[in-house]
Amino acid sequence: MKKIEEFVRARPRTIQEVAHLLGRNWRTADSYVERIVAEQGTIATRTFRGGTRGALKIAYWNEGERFHASASQERLFSKILAGREKDDFNPFDIYQYVEEAKRRAFLEKQTVYNITEKQNLVNALRQANQQVLIFAGDLSWAVARQGEVTLLSLLEELVVRKVPIKILCNVDMESVENIEKALSLNHKHKSELIEVRHAQQPLRAFVVDNRFVRFKQRKQQRGRDDYIFYELMDEEWVTWTQKVFWHLFRTGIGAEKRLADLESIERIR
């Protein structure tokens, strides 16, 4: 995969050129490229004359792409980069730009670790086939449950189905236990499908495939915590949110490295 990234970074390549580089057939080369698209985001693809015998699929470098389609997206991206805590950014600022037919939002009064039927996060995540991207804080949702189903067990279902899961969160001493629980699923199922990287950022959201993103916002009212959920099904905004994720993910520090460094601090103490 690293060899493909270096090859494509030099200039756009056809899948046939990638296949020649690897000494593999077209289908195998295409599967590698699509895995990089899904798991790393450093490469993107485009097919010309799709559905015809002369179809041509091109892989190109995605990291330097200017992915903002409007000034509003560029401004929102700057606000996200400047934020550290969940109160530093309001997902409504994204929601307001999406067509009414492609969005929905609702407010709920709930305990932190109880997922309601109205949210139905279990069903939403079970629809994933390609990938799940997660913007998180301290990964406290790992112990949350919807009925009898915990989110950790739901992640395990996705791992069993070979669905990649990428998580951005604050890897610190408070989140160590939850992160280790999530990463233990890789060891249990002999996979590397769950990848966690450290990044302090203000979003709390799940992105499922290319189909929808769900943001969560805490709303304090009269001494209690209510929560507003914003769900977007607009392809442009889902894609934009994915690219925000990949920008943060590329520069994030791997959880394993950061956990090892945290353990060294504990030993010194």
Q: What's the pLDDT at 266?
A: 54
* Number of C-beta neighbours around residue 99 at 10 A: 11
Is the pLDDT at 22 greater than 60? The verdict is yes
Confidence of residue 179 (pLDDT cuts 50, 70, 90): very high
Q: What is the b/e burial string over 154-193, where b = at least 16 CB atoms within 10 angstroms of the residue's CB?
A: bbbebbeeebbbbbbbbbeeebbebbeebbebbeeeeeeb
Better-scored residue on pLDDT, 233 or 143: 233
Is the pLDDT at 113 greater than 80? The verdict is no
Low-confidence winner among 9-23, 37-51, 73-87, 150-164 (lowest mean pLDDT): 37-51
Query: What's the CATH number for 2-61?
Result: 1.10.10.10
> How far apart are alpha carbons 143 and 66 in whole angstroms?
37
What percentage of the chain exceeds 70 in pLDDT?
A: 94
Of the options 3.30.870.10, 3.40.1180.10, 3.40.50.1110, 1.10.3720.10, the CATH number for the domain spanning 71-268: 3.30.870.10
Low-confidence winner among 59-68, 147-156, 229-238 (lowest mean pLDDT): 59-68
Task: Please compute the mean of the pLDDT values over residues 122-147 and round it to a whole number.
Answer: 89
Confidence of residue 105 (pLDDT cuts 50, 70, 90): very high
Is the pLDDT at 47 greater than 60? The verdict is yes
Q: Do 149 and 140 meet the contact criterion of CB atoms below 8 Å apart? A: no
Angle between helices 151-160 and 176-188 (to 10 degrees): 30
Is the pLDDT at 131 greater than 70? The verdict is yes
pLDDT tens string 147-164: 889 899 999 999 999 999
Better-scored residue on pLDDT, 53 or 72: 72
Domains 2-61 and 71-268 belong to one CATH topology: no
Low-confidence winner among 96-105, 109-118, 184-193, 203-212 (lowest mean pLDDT): 109-118
For the chain, the structural domain boundaries read 2-61, 71-268
Confidence of residue 30 (pLDDT cuts 50, 70, 90): very high
Task: Please compute the mean of the pLDDT values over residues 101-123 and round it to a whole number.
Answer: 85
Q: What's the pLDDT at 56?
A: 92
